[in-house]
Structure 1
């Protein structure tokens, strides 16, 4: 070994030693939106909750976060929703605010949006497992309207709520929607292929988000994965957890994820306030596209579902 090569190796080792271990480790928390959801393609709401709790326990996920829409409790399928939410908390998980009726901020304006939050907070505050975290429906923080964005952010601060941003999004809701449509149409579903598609999509979305984060932050933060309370999760979240760990991820609690310095950093000032927190930071820094994981494009995602899960041939 030449002196020059030996010197380069020593320099590289020194540089690696200087990087904090937490910055090198891939950490991720699991979070679920739209709790309690209505009946899906496969399970009643109660069955889904029982299966999801069992899957998380089997996967040794000590704490996930469930973001609640209390307005869903008034629907026909919302019957028993309060007990389902309590069951998640009893299993060790925590609950946050996802608005009362799941409106899009960009569509209804700040006044109505904040009034909707007040309704959800009135239901949530004081409940066991509650965290003062707010998850924007549709990850819509005001779109291209900066005044609207700032009004919403100020409204959250005035209410003592922090932004429960996400850093990883694989559009699991769209895979769930494709499954519902296929089952209702009586199509044959290849469930092993569905599991592969769901798990691979979420793991790859995590790796995409982490690579982008290391580029714009210079480190790997404690990531927050956006999932939904779906039949897919009730079937395969334990498989997802195992695949994440095989890929080098450590699954952490939502409390740990939102203790990351990223949570205390100033919110990004971007032309468009929608999407993952990392995507918005990349936009703020002028990082060119792609800033979003490719399978968030529904055209690609739907084509994969059709060919992998339904074994339909692509149109010529």
Structure 2
């Protein structure tokens, strides 16, 4: 197995960058509270160290400044500054993480403005907005278009994602197992996290090629979680061994697909899914483990060893 990984890594280095699969990393919901294994400070330090060791020069951290006033948010501003000092960038994920479908356009844009006021003039800030829950209004086209116009007027662009492995659900399953006192196979958890995201990257890349005829620079959706702090280095190594080049968030968002404005019956999910739907490609247009029932069953079997 080690020989195979070494050969894959050598191949990846030998292939021209333009011919490689490319992916950037992003982490949502910053600052996050205590998880199953680490305090917020411990998690941030570990994430920064692991990204540096893995030679990831620039990831994107999408912020909810409203969390800074929560008890778990204490010290969050220092952790955000530490990400930026390490070379990473920060962007707007709203102030309070609302669902667009549960908000008026006016309230939603005001929430974005509140986050933007906190982000303005801070080092490392990028003019990107990521929709909470990747919810762009679902079937409400009037609301969707009004927010799109509002973002454009504010000089913000959609901080879309093209690859999603539902890491938030793996984190939730892990936290519940820990709270319930269930023994977890940590090596199996590592493999589950890594395999899920490598498979997701390849699924969405193949879908993008079917849709657009090429492999774009992808943006992977992750969250500021304990499992990311534990296994992000392993994930980066596995992606590279599989032929992926890790690129900066700036590089990913320079890809032309960022200019695509899809028009499909319901807007929520990855840009890859929405573009495939618009082209008329049949479902499923999402990675299998994004079905949380399936992911839960696999987690229980592989990590908890429950039959």
TM score, norm. by length of structure 1: 0.91
Question: Distance between the aligned counterparts of 2:210 and 2:106, measured in 1?
Answer: 37
1:305 equivalent in structure 2:
299
Q: Which of 76, 88, 110 is residue 71 of structure 2 equivalent to?
A: 76
Q: Secondary structure at the match of 1:29?
A: strand
Q: Which of 196, 209, 215 is residue 214 of structure 1 equivalent to?
A: 209
Question: Distance between the aligned counterparts of 2:19 and 2:289, measured in 1?
Answer: 26
Q: Which of 266, 281, 285 is residue 287 of structure 1 equivalent to?
A: 281
- Kindly indicate whether residue 240 of structure 2 is the aligned counterpart of residue 260 of structure 1: no
Q: Secondary structure at the match of 1:141?
A: strand
Q: Which of 146, 154, 163 is residue 159 of structure 1 equivalent to?
A: 154
Q: Which of 30, 38, 47 is residue 43 of structure 1 equivalent to?
A: 38
Question: Distance between the aligned counterparts of 1:38 and 1:155, measured in 2?
Answer: 31
The gaps in structure 2 that reach 5 residues or longer are: 1-15
Does the Cα contact within 8 Å between 2:211 and 2:276 map onto a contact in 1? yes
Q: Secondary structure at the match of 1:225?
A: strand
Q: Note the C-alpha offset of 1:286.
A: 1.1
Q: Note the C-alpha offset of 1:25.
A: 1.9
Please give the residue correspondences for 1:123-138 in structure 2 after superposition, counting only pairs within 5 Å. 123-138=118-133
Determine which structure has more spread, i.e. the larger CA radius of gyration: 1
1:15 equivalent in structure 2:
none
Q: Which of 159, 171, 186 is residue 191 of structure 1 equivalent to?
A: 186
Question: Distance between the aligned counterparts of 1:68 and 1:28, measured in 2?
Answer: 21
For residues 11-31 of structure 1, what are the alpha-carbon distances to aligned partners after superposition, in whole Å with 9 as ceiling and x for unaligned?
Answer: xxxxxxxxxx66642000000
The gaps in structure 1 that reach 5 residues or longer are: 1-20
Does the Cα contact within 8 Å between 2:30 and 2:61 map onto a contact in 1? yes
Question: Distance between the aligned counterparts of 2:298 and 2:37, measured in 1?
Answer: 21
2:169 equivalent in structure 1:
174
1:278 equivalent in structure 2:
272
Does the Cα contact within 8 Å between 2:92 and 2:130 map onto a contact in 1? yes
Question: CA-atom RMSD, angstroms?
Answer: 0.9
TM score, norm. by length of structure 2: 0.94
Number of residue pairs matched? 292
- Kindly indicate whether residue 218 of structure 2 is the aligned counterpart of residue 251 of structure 1: no
Q: Note the C-alpha offset of 1:54.
A: 0.6
Question: Distance between the aligned counterparts of 1:194 and 1:141, measured in 2?
Answer: 32
